[in-house]
Structure 1
């Protein structure tokens, strides 16, 4: 377990503030965004993706034993070479994913300035 890096925190803040929900017909309520942002102070990295081609991070403890969420929201943005996804399950940010467009490994998250919302 470790604290979020500055870049990880900045991306999560930006995704909560400006990320969109893929395929959703409705806007995300400001109250939801405020609730999620209010949890950032206690957010820790509990694990990383084991694929070796991305820097994705697990934000919840014991990801293997996590129950199926009753509500899930996915906030999306993109960089030049990848999608960025923030999973929010049962009103808690749980996973920050970087999904590369190609086969080229990406070892770190992009700066917020390089992200399109």
Structure 2
């Protein structure tokens, strides 16, 4: 499922946000620090962009989990459960893993969705960050 399908927009949380698991946080940090821009429009990410997003990690929580049954994708919220709307300023970072692509969506300069898109087999958890093919 994509964040557009899963995210109804900014509003009160539908589930209580929970702390990220160690694995979720490690994958998030790996994507922020070394993930490649998924667009083809020549956008260049700066170290300041990545530093701003890394600074959000300690207060980032997991919101709703994707309900497709084949992936561990999660909404990313603040401690109160709020998340940004998807908008024109969306940035998507990507990395590869055996059997899947990982995507980190950043909307309105806020971490908003951590997605694992399986190629075929179902995944119940995110892969070990050391096994990611970080594309940048």
TM-score normalised by length of structure 2: 0.78
Residue 24 of structure 1 deviates from its aligned partner by 4.2
Match of 1:16 in 2: 32
Match of 1:79 in 2: 97
Match of 2:47 in 1: 30
Q: What are the residue-to-residue correspondences of 1:94-113 with 2, within 5 Å?
A: 94-102=112-120, 104-113=121-130
Q: In angstroms, what is the RMSD of aligned CA positions?
A: 1.5
Deviation per CA, 1:52-80, whole angstroms, max 9, x where unpaired?
100000012366xx644241100000101
Distance in 2 (alpha carbons) for counterparts of 1:79 and 1:68: 25
User: Which residue of 79, 91, 106 maps to 2:109?
Assistant: 91
TM-score normalised by length of structure 1: 0.90
| Count of aligned residue pairs for this structure pair | 114
Give the direction of change, closer, same or farther, for the CA distance of 1:67–1:88 in structure 2 (3 Å limit).
closer
Q: Secondary structure at the match of 1:83?
A: strand
Give the direction of change, closer, same or farther, for the CA distance of 1:62–1:32 in structure 2 (3 Å limit).
closer
Give the direction of change, closer, same or farther, for the CA distance of 1:54–1:47 in structure 2 (3 Å limit).
same
Distance in 1 (alpha carbons) for counterparts of 2:86 and 2:106: 12
Q: Secondary structure at the match of 1:38?
A: helix
Give the direction of change, closer, same or farther, for the CA distance of 1:67–1:25 in structure 2 (3 Å limit).
closer
Unaligned runs of 5+ in 2: 1-16
Unaligned runs of 5+ in 1: none
